[in-house]
């Protein structure tokens, strides 16, 4: 055999070496997280771009294939708004919360359970996974209370309580049905609908549900997929690691603000409830989940207790 033909071109050698190094770098994380639960909040651009949807599905399937238990919680706000508009149903927001009348709640369930959840389950199964769709009603998994929205009043008056309808916040998570699915090699996909005090359906923010599920399962990680790189400092640079003390300082300084505040708060609540790490990462990056879990540097912001 010609000696020159026994070697691949340098470019191919370099590519193969890079792939091998990536696998070696991932090895300690594969060992560490085997048998552990990772809760992923799926939302943003990753839910609408076809290539990113495929990347997400394959990432979740790979986690399960290497012995990690992924649990997916999804949102669906834009899809709900779109259908409400098509049906000429007025939908108002108060302090970022959708006022959920019984009529709106019917649409919320129609979209979350009948459209979004089904499509995510189908996406994962299409690419070789074994996903099962759920809501908080299944196995009474998510017990919730009515969310009380308080607004400050002028002078010495007590805060005004604003009625925003069938909106809830998680009170208790029963993880039994999730544990059963995990040990049966299935990937749970959860719509953020909870069970209220009278058995009614309550619309819950998906980030809150993801944090509550992570706490109930004592997950190793909570990962929030977003349309931003993570938490940024005052100069717009990514902050790779944060503690609750640092979060408090940046909130007080006005660096963490707007829509990032509730996401960061969810991460801190998960840590307080015993979740080891919480992450905010950019779901617009292909293979974002694998890059965050299996590489030394990660791609987003990780929150640690200290």
The C-alpha atoms of residue 277 and residue 241 are separated, in whole angstroms, by: 10
Please write the tens of the pLDDT for every residue from 82-115. 999 999 999 888 888 899 999 999 999 999 999 9
User: In whole angstroms, what is the distance from residue 4 CA to residue 72 CA?
Assistant: 50
Evaluate whether 103 touches 89 at the Cβ level (below 8 Å): yes
The domains located in the chain, with CATH, are: 36-303 (3.40.1160.10)
Average pLDDT over residues 214-238: 94
- The answer on pLDDT for 10 being more than 70 is no
**Predicted confidence band at 134 (pLDDT cuts at 50, 70, 90)?**
very high
Predicted TM-score (pTM) above 0.85? yes
| Separation between Cα atoms, residue 241 and residue 243, nearest integer Å | 7
Model pLDDT, residue 14: 62
What is residue 126's predicted lDDT score, i.e. its pLDDT?
96
SS3 state at 300: coil
Distances (CA, A) of 112 to 41, 95, 96, 204, 281: 14, 22, 19, 11, 23
State the Cα–Cα distance between residues 200 and 120, nearest whole angstrom. 25
Q: What is the pLDDT of residue 272?
A: 94
Q: What per-residue confidence (pLDDT) applies to 297? A: 77
Residue 280 has pLDDT above 70, yes or no: yes
Q: Is the dihedral of CA 73, 224, 258, 254 positive or negative?
A: positive
| pLDDT (mean) for 18-44 | 84
């Amino acid at each position: 055999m010609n000696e020159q033909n026994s070697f691949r071109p340098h470019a191919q050698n370099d590519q193969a070496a890079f792939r091998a190094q990536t696998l070696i770098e991932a090895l300690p994380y594969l060992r560490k997280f085997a048998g552990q639960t990772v809760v992923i909040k799926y939302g943003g651009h990753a839910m609408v771009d076809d290539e990113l949807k495929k990347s997400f599905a394959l990432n979740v399937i790979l986690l399960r294939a290497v012995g990690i238990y992924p649990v997916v919680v999804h949102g669906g706000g834009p899809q709900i708004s779109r259908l409400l508009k098509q049906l000429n149903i007025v939908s108002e927001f108060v302090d970022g919360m959708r006022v959920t009348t019984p009529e709106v709640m019917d649409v919320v369930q129609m979209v979350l359970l009948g459209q979004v959840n089904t499509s995510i389950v189908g996406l994962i199964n299409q690419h070789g996974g074994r996903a099962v769709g759920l809501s908080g009603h299944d196995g009474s998994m998510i017990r919730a209370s009515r969310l009380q929205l308080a607004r400050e009043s002028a002078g010495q008056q007590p805060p005004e309580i604003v009625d925003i309808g069938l909106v809830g916040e998680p009170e208790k998570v029963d993880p039994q049905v999730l544990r059963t699915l995990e040990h049966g090699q299935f990937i749970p996909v959860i719509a953020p609908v909870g069970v209220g005090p009278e058995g009614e359906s309550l619309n819950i923010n998906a980030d809150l549900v993801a944090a509550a599920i992570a706490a109930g399962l004592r997950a190793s990680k909570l990962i929030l997929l977003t349309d931003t790189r993570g938490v940024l400092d005052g100069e717009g640079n990514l902050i790779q690691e944060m503690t609750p003390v640092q979060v408090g300082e940046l909130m007080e300084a006005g660096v963490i603000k707007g829509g990032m505040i509730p996401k960061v708060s969810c991460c801190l609540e998960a840590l307080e409830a015993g979740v080891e790490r919480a992450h905010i990462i950019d779901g617009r990056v292909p293979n974002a989940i694998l890059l965050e879990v299996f590489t030394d540097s990660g791609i987003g912001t990780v929150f640690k207790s200290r």
